[in-house]
A and B are shown apart, each in its own frame.
Chain A
Amino acid sequence: MKPYTPLTLAVLALVIGPIGIAVFVLGFVHGDSPCVLCWAQRTGMVLIALTGLFVIRFGPRPRYIGLAVLLAAFGIYMGLRHSSLHLWRDVGQGFSAEIFGAHTYTWSMFIYWVSVVMMGALLLMLKDGQAASEARRLRPLERVTLWLFLLAAAGNAVQAFASTGPPPYMGQGDPVRFSFNPAHWVWSLEEWRPAPISLRGRWAIEKPDVGLARADPDGSPLAAVPVLAASRRATIALPLDGPIADLAYNEATDRFLVTTEKGIYITDGALSRVLRHTVVDTMFSVDLARLAAGTFLAPDTVLAVSENKSYVVLRESDRADAVANFRYFLASFDRFEELSRSRFTTVRAKMMYVMAVAFDPGTGSIFTMTVPNAKARRLVVSRFDRRDMTLSEEFTPELAPGSGLAFKAKDGSLDAFYVTGAAFHGGRIYAISAAFGTLLTIDPATRTVTSARAIPGLDRPVGIAIKGAEAFIVDAAGGLTIVPLAP
């Protein structure tokens, strides 16, 4: 085999395959029209092919190799960036044409990767001194390859003119079907419109911060919210490892669960003594980040949920293997067994964090509730099945007819509430909002808010537990406000 034959065949495959088929078959025959990102991906492949032709014609000069590496590296980035718009969709979904089960923009990742591999292989075959060669006389196969390249480049120019137009028009985000009929050509300037530049786009979501919640009840979107006065106040004075994140109560054992950012504390029914605790290694395996909520799943089993909807399930044990538990915990290694550590996956709440969890033992349902952020403001209640910890239902509650509740504004909504704690009791979810210091009662069966009560004196609460006929509302510093349950 001649020295340049492998490279020529590689360029030929690139020209005939992804470049030629894209324009002549997908484009001219099937009407496929690249979007603005597809155009750049295709152009990058054309440029890599052209760089290969430079090597064939002038020898493997360092600047050709350097440019080819840069093009391939940028091409892999383009493939990742473009595919990321669709990788998370359901199976089979995508944008535009599919080839062998994968859409065109995902194929480019593979093609650019193959280009890198090919360059590495060809460099390995390079002999010392070959890099300084003069312009070569082209052999027939090389000449055919160059002509085919020019044909493909011309074809792309024709398609680009029809699809994107002359300068300053450029490719579109959602182009129309390709046609040779000028009546169907759409030339657009949409991509020139001023738009914010962002590194992470819509995925740049700030972490929840209860301190940012507007505590003043007067700011509530609800009109004339009845006031629910505290029956008494207290302070939790327990040796905890940090600020309190949530509170839960188990009636069967008359014990509370106090959750901190990493800590799990089982206390007595008076919240005066820690009976059992551990500190979870939140960085091990599944990233639990900051624990934000906790609840009892059974008298001896607790669930702690992080802001990012990751969770850990722990069971109390007096025979736990402290050595085996080293990986799970940072302290008190022999008081719990870790049953599972994984993540809740949502649909409507995907771009929001949660700070509240409640458990309905009757139906085996776990409820989480979202907190709003700058990009996504929507109160979403997600219900998960305890058996497989998988999403069963999601809803955005509305005001119950006949509840007497109404919004101040015509377009008012519950989205501004910052629910930081929840508890299930008597078929209702009791949700405490750090914003406006309001206790919401939600009926999951009708997906409605049946009552709302403003509780004076609350300072951005973070958790709620129901004990008997009272709600224990706690803030991060341990301040406890006890109110009678709203009807």
Chain B
Amino acid sequence: MPSPLWHDPAVEFLNFIIIFAAGYLVLRHPERERLAFRLLVASSVLMAALFLIGARGSILPGLNY
């Protein structure tokens, strides 16, 4: 089995932890808005990367063009 990209924590579980943390900051620590938003952006990028990894065999929708 090829060695996984250990330096890249791109996984769904971790992403939801980030999302939870961002939501918690919005609810309980609104003064940390900047950190919360950065977590939101990081999670968005992570989500997009995960999808593109799964879809790299055919980036475009697999239909007749």
Contacts and interface: CB of A to CB of B under 8 A. Distances in A.
Interface of A: 35-37, 39-41, 43-44, 46-47, 50-51, 53-54, 57-58, 63-64, 67, 70-71, 74, 78, 80-85, 87-88, 135, 138, 143, 146-147, 149-150, 153-154, 156-157, 160-161, 163-171, 173, 189, 191-203
Contacts of A156: 16, 19
Contact of A165 (B11, B31, B56, B63): B11
A201 B9 CA distance: 27
25 contacts: A40-B54, A43-B16, A43-B43, A50-B40, A54-B33, A58-B26, A71-B44, A74-B48, A84-B62, A88-B63, A135-B30, A135-B31, A147-B27, A153-B16, A153-B23, A157-B17, A167-B9, A168-B11, A171-B54, A193-B2, A198-B58, A198-B59, A199-B60, A201-B59, A203-B65
Interface in B13-64: 13-17, 19-20, 22-24, 26-27, 30-31, 33, 36-37, 40-41, 43-44, 47-48, 50-51, 53-64
B5 A168 contact: yes
Contacts of A85: 62
A46 B56 contact: no
A384 B53 CA distance: 41
Interface of B: 1-2, 4-6, 8-17, 19-20, 22-24, 26-27, 30-31, 33, 36-37, 40-41, 43-44, 47-48, 50-51, 53-65
B63 A87 contact: yes
Given A40-B54, A192-B4, A160 B13 contact: yes
Contact of B12 (A54, A58, A78, A171): A171
9 closest Cβ contacts across the A-B interface? Answer: A201-B58, A40-B51, A84-B61, A157-B16, A36-B54, A135-B30, A160-B12, A160-B13, A168-B4
A57 B27 CA distance: 8
A63 B6 CA distance: 31
Given A135-B33, A157-B16, A201-B57, A167 B11 contact: yes
Given A40-B48, A57-B26, A146-B27, A50 B19 contact: yes
A168 B40 contact: no
Given A146-B27, A171-B50, A63 B60 contact: no
A203 B50 contact: no
Contacts of B6: 168
Contacts of A87: 63
Contacts of B10: 167-168, 170
Contacts of A161: 13
B57 A47 contact: no
Contacts of B61: 80-81, 83-84
A200 B11 contact: no
Contact of A37 (B2, B14, B55, B60): B55
A485 to B, nearest CB: 38
Contacts of A150: 20, 23-24, 27
A198 B33 CA distance: 39
A353 to B, nearest CB: 12
Nearest to B64: A203
A197 B5 CA distance: 17
A40 B13 contact: no
A36 B5 contact: no
Contact of B40 (A39, A51, A78, A167): A51
Contacts of A63: 37
A192 B12 contact: no
Contacts of A196: 56-57
B44 A70 contact: yes
B60 A67 contact: no
B23 A146 contact: yes
Contacts of B17: 157
Contacts of B8: 168
A43 B14 CA distance: 11
Contacts of A195: 56-57
A83 to B, nearest CB: 8
Nearest to A169: B11
Given A54-B26, A150-B27, A170-B10, A194 B2 contact: yes
Contacts of A64: 37
A129 to B, nearest CB: 19
A283 B4 CA distance: 49
Given A146-B23, A202-B58, 10 more contacts: A47-B40, A47-B43, A47-B47, A57-B26, A58-B26, A71-B44, A83-B61, A193-B1, A199-B58, A199-B60
Nearest to A143: B27
Contacts of B51: 36-37, 40-41, 74, 78, 81
Interface centre among B10, B15, B50, B62 (most CB of A within 10 A): B62
A44 B58 contact: no
Contacts of B65: 200, 203
Interface centre among B4, B6, B19, B43 (most CB of A within 10 A): B19
B27 A164 contact: no
B9 A168 contact: yes
